Each structure stands twice: as C-alpha cells, then as structure tokens.
Amino acid sequence: MTDKKTLISIVVPIYFEEQVIDEFYRRTRAVLAGLEDRFASEIIFVDDGSQDRSLELLLALAEKDSGVRVLTFSRNFGHQMAITAGIEHASGQAIVLIDGDLQDPPELIPDMIAKWEEGYKVVYAVRETREGESLLKIATAKAFYKVLNRLSEIEIPMDTGDFRLIDRQVADALSSLPECNRFIRGLIPWVGFAQCGVSYRRDARYAGTTKFNMEKMLKFAFSGITSFSEKPLYVALRLGVFFSLFSFLLGVWLIVNKLLFPQDTIFGWTSLVTVILFIGGVQLASVGVLGLYIGKIYHEVKRRPLYIPAAKYGFTEMPPQSRHRLAQPSLRRHRSEHPAGKDAK
C-alpha cells in the first residue's frame, strides 16, 4: 500500500558540530515521532566541509535511520550555500530550515506545521529572548535589521534568522533564482506568498562555540544590504554632489575675498586640510561601496556553481523539484568515490 502521508523535510547545515549532532538528532526525532501519524519525514544534514567527527557521526545516523540523508561539500562553501543545497535536495511539501547547534528548538516545528496547515506558505520563528548572547551582539543585530529595512524595498521581520518553514512552492521559487550571492532570510520575503511568525525563546548553544565571528557577521551584513538595496549608491552620489557644490562655493568665496581685500592674509589652512581629508575619506568610502556592488557583479558573471557536492548518502534519487545548476554527471551522481560511498544508503 502506498504511503499517502505528507512528507516534511528538515534541512540542517552542519559545520564542526560533533558535540551537538547526537542530541540534535534525538530531540528532532522525538518531535517527528509525535507527528508520524499524519506526516512522513526526512532529515537532510548538509556537512559544510567540517574537519572534525561531524561527518562520521552523520553517516552513523544514516546507517541506522533510513530517513536521514547526508550531503557533504568538497570544502566549506558557507552557511547560506548549505541551506540552499538542503532546499534543492529536499523532497518534502514543507521544508523546515534549522541550525544544528540547538539554539533553535526542534520542539517549535509542530507549531510551524500548524500555521502551514492554516494556509501560510512561510512560517518564520521570531526570537523573544536570546540566551547566551552578548548585549553587543543583540544590539548590533537589531541595528542591522533596522538599517536593512530602512534601505531595502522589502521588509525582513525583526529578530528572525533562518529558522523557518517554507512551502514547496516557495522552495521551488528560491531554487529558480540564479544569483550566487545568497541571503536566504532576505530572498524568502522577496519571493512573497503568505507569511507569518511564531515566537520562541532562543537557547544558548548546547555545546561548542559559535563559528560566526565578528568578521563573518560584518561580511554577512554588508552582503544582505547590498543584495537588496541600491540606496548606498545614491547616498554616495548625494555626498559627492554636496561636497562638489560646497567646494565650488568655497572657491568662489575665496576668489571674491582675495579680489576685494587683497591686503588680507587668508587664514584657515588647518581647517582647509581637515576638509580635504574629510572629503577624501568620503570619496574612498563611496568607492568602497561601489566596489562592493562591482564585486557582486564579478561573482555573478563567472557563473560558478553555488557549491560542489563531495558525496551523498541516503538519497534514492535527485528530487524532481531540484533546480541545482550543476550539469556535469560527475557532480550529479548520488555517491562519489568517497571511501565510504559503497556502504552508504
């Protein structure tokens, strides 16, 4: 008899999480067990080039649980690419995106599914509190979303991350987008559809330390702003026009002052140098903003694949909904020449 249950896919990016994987799996499987009367499920772990025992532990889970799939990358391609790969390889009618560090609780998944059954295509998790995070990180995160929403044409909900449920229709829309600069929490509002939020308390990490340092946070923030707004370019243009006009008027005033009062000595060289240095700083900053956009164009026109799979375990066949742009058969196959590939499910 054919199983008519609706399939729910859980996509989990993994990067150096050997201390958390077993506990994450236990809690997630417990949640899914409570839904198995109505839903089938699959858990897709995407190992983003971990160099610890993460892959070993994931393969052990795939050996004992036929509902576990493991996709490994040839190197570290980044969190957003891991999420993208998981979405492209998911077969479910609903896909839950959740990090594997247990800051986002799997126990919230039933609430998300309930909202999805009401007709919402996207159900995002809203953080009421954020345990284990510094006041600086919380403040900068809030400031980032305020700036992004002020600059962008789309609105990204405050206090949200990538923890959310998306419908198959949304997943297909995301997979059809050709851009390589992926900012998932911005792309999902951009594609539209009915969306709502559910609140939760974000826990501290179960174990280990975050891999998302300040440098990565700043890079992520600039990527989000430049991916969804052209306003920084207009700000640079306006500053250029303003200082050009200011310099012209100042030059006219100096000439007139010299002609009318030739006996006067012109003072203010210190202030003049300060103005020159300030204008020079504005020019360099404007060139830097322009460079960020040109850099994005540079990466887009190369049309390199978003990620390169090293091996796949537990997949029976490529999901028909996948829009993955790797056309080479050697990168499409489901088992690579990985030493453990012949034993993989």
CA angle 316, 51, 88 (to 5 degrees): 35
Residues 23 and 103 in one domain: yes
Is residue 70 assigned to a domain? yes
State the pLDDT confidence band at 336, using cuts at 50, 70 and 90.
very low
Q: Which class for 297: exposed (0-12), middle (13-18), buried (19 or more C-beta within 10 A)?
A: exposed
What span, in angstroms and rounded, lies between the C-alpha atoms of 293 and 223? 9
Residues 56 and 161 in one domain: yes
Residues 130 and 36 in one domain: yes
DSSP states along 232-274? HHHHHHHHHHHHHHHHHHHHHHHHHHHHH-TTSPP--HHHHHH
Residue with tokens 């600059």: 151
Is residue 131 assigned to a domain? yes
Residues 311 and 290 in one domain: no
CATH of residue 166's domain is: 3.90.550.10
Q: Which class for 335: exposed (0-12), middle (13-18), buried (19 or more C-beta within 10 A)?
A: middle
Burial 106-123 (b: 16+ CB within 10 A, else e): bebbeebbebbeeebbbb
Q: Which class for 165: exposed (0-12), middle (13-18), buried (19 or more C-beta within 10 A)?
A: buried
User: Residue 7 contacts by C-beta under 8 Å, 6 or more apart in sequence?
Assistant: 39, 40, 41, 42, 91, 92, 93
Is residue 224 assigned to a domain? no
Is residue 34 assigned to a domain? yes
DSSP state of 228: H
* Count of the separate structural domains present in the chain: 2
pLDDT surpassing 50 at residue 326? no
* pLDDT for the residue 96: 95
Q: Rounded to 5 degrees, what are φ and ψ at 122?
A: -135, 130
In percent, the amount of the chain with pLDDT more than 90 equals 21
State the pLDDT confidence band at 133, using cuts at 50, 70 and 90.
low
Is residue 238 assigned to a domain? yes
128 membership: H or E segment, kind and range: strand 122-130
Residues 171 and 45 in one domain: yes
| Average model confidence (pLDDT) across the chain | 76
What span, in angstroms and rounded, lies between the C-alpha atoms of 256 and 166? 66
Residues 176 and 322 in one domain: yes
What span, in angstroms and rounded, lies between the C-alpha atoms of 2 and 199? 36
If one counts every other C-beta atom within 10 angstroms of the C-beta of residue 131, the result is 11
pLDDT surpassing 50 at residue 345? no
Are 37 and 72 contacting, i.e. CB atoms less than 8 angstroms apart? Answer: no
Residues 48 and 88 in one domain: yes
Q: How far is CA 154 from the centre of its chain?
A: 16
What pTM does this model have?
A: 0.68
Is residue 122 assigned to a domain? yes
If one counts every other C-beta atom within 10 angstroms of the C-beta of residue 200, the result is 18
Residues 99 and 169 in one domain: yes
In percent, the amount of the chain with pLDDT more than 70 equals 60
CA distances from 283 to 134, 223, 239, 244 (A): 34, 21, 9, 11
State the pLDDT confidence band at 2, using cuts at 50, 70 and 90.
very low
Question: Which residues span the domain enclosing 252?
Answer: 231-302
Residues 294 and 199 in one domain: no
pLDDT surpassing 50 at residue 320? no
Residues 262 and 282 in one domain: yes
Residues 118 and 242 in one domain: no
Are 35 and 41 contacting, i.e. CB atoms less than 8 angstroms apart? Answer: yes
What does the chain come to in residues?
345
State the pLDDT confidence band at 184, using cuts at 50, 70 and 90.
confident
Residues 32 and 145 in one domain: yes
Are 13 and 46 contacting, i.e. CB atoms less than 8 angstroms apart? Answer: yes
Bridge partners (DSSP) of residue 195 are 122
Is residue 225 assigned to a domain? no
Is residue 126 assigned to a domain? yes
Q: Find the range with the poorest average confidence among 131-135, 182-186, 303-307.
A: 131-135
